[in-house]
A = this chain, B = another copy of it.
Amino acid sequence: VDQRGRGAIEAAKRGAVGALVRSMTSAHDDFPHTGTMRYDDKVTKVPGAALSTIAADRLSQQLKQDPKLEFELEMGCQTLPDVKSYNVVGEIKGSTRPEEIITIGGHLDSWDLAQGAHDDGTGCVQSIEVLRLLKASGLRPERTIRAVLFMNEENGARGGQKYAELAKAAGEKHLAAIESDGGGFTPRGFGFEADAATIAKVQAWRPLLAPYLAGQLGPGHGGTDIEPLKDQVKALIGYDCDSQRYFDIHHTAADTFDKVNRRELELGGAAMATLVYLLSKYGL
């Protein structure tokens, strides 16, 4: 990933006119896998592009046969001016402690050439599903549960930053935030950015989460959208699921709805709703 991120900078320092990177995936396919790349204002900005693994293998083979190989690079991408956009927020008011907020979210935007089914359509659907399941169960949560579909995760996380900024400005009291942004695959558990005592408390809920295959609870990463809330919550929580297929489709044209399995998606939503209900009932 450092080659994708800094490849154009390092190549330009050495006199290159462009930089190509082999896609960050273990899949052997014809889909370029894209993602963030950076420039350094002190170094000439040269074009950078991702090649599919099949194309990269072919180019590598051809370069071995002909080290003087020439080829043209034609790219149509451009950076457009910023436009105003929005987070989408829905909530269930808590019954006894409505002033304490638990945020659950995913992000609305996706990488340019991808539909973004797993990154992060599934996270958005699961966040809404948590509210739906709580309503369908008839169990009104004690604390306020807020589902947030964050805008602009992929290109600066400004939706997450604005959400945290507004929360602080409004003097809101946030207990925890959960993000699903690793695909909508079968649950394995949750990762916590929290102190040891908080993690130990949550680990006592393991028997209640294991039936949803989400019993692995320990230190981990919350999520890019909720990270700006860090100093306002007791825990940032990331939904952990089976990651084996994620980088087959991540940031590619192959990240489409047909790759989402309904049972996997629903199990994840149920695991998240269970954790949210426990947080709402027992606090942290």
- A26 CB contacts on chain B under 8 angstroms: 262-263
What 12 new A-B contacts, CB under 8 Å, besides A26-B262, A188-B213, A242-B242? A26-B263, A186-B186, A186-B242, A186-B244, A244-B261, A244-B263, A244-B264, A244-B267, A245-B261, A245-B263, A245-B264, A248-B261
Q: Which residues of B contact A242 (CB under 8 A)?
A: 186, 242
Question: A225-270: which have CB < 8 Å to B?
Answer: 242, 244-245, 248, 261-264, 267
Bound: A10/B263 CA distance, A: 31
Q: Which residues of B contact A263 (CB under 8 A)?
A: 26, 244-245
Query: Chain B contacts of A245 at CB under 8 A?
Result: 261, 263-264
Docked complex Cα distance between A264 and B27 (Å): 12
Q: Please report the C-alpha to C-alpha distance between residue A245 and residue B262 in the assembled complex, in whole angstroms.
A: 9
- Kindly list chain B residues whose C-beta atoms are within 8 Å of the C-beta of A262: 26
15 sampled A-B residue pairs with Cβ under 8 A:
A26-B262, A26-B263, A186-B186, A186-B242, A186-B244, A188-B213, A242-B242, A244-B261, A244-B263, A244-B264, A244-B267, A245-B261, A245-B263, A245-B264, A248-B261
**Bound CA span A197–B89, Å:** 53
Give A188 to B216 CA distance when docked, in angstroms: 11
Name, among A244, A245, A261, A263, the residue most crowded by chain B CB atoms within 10 Å (CB to CB). A244
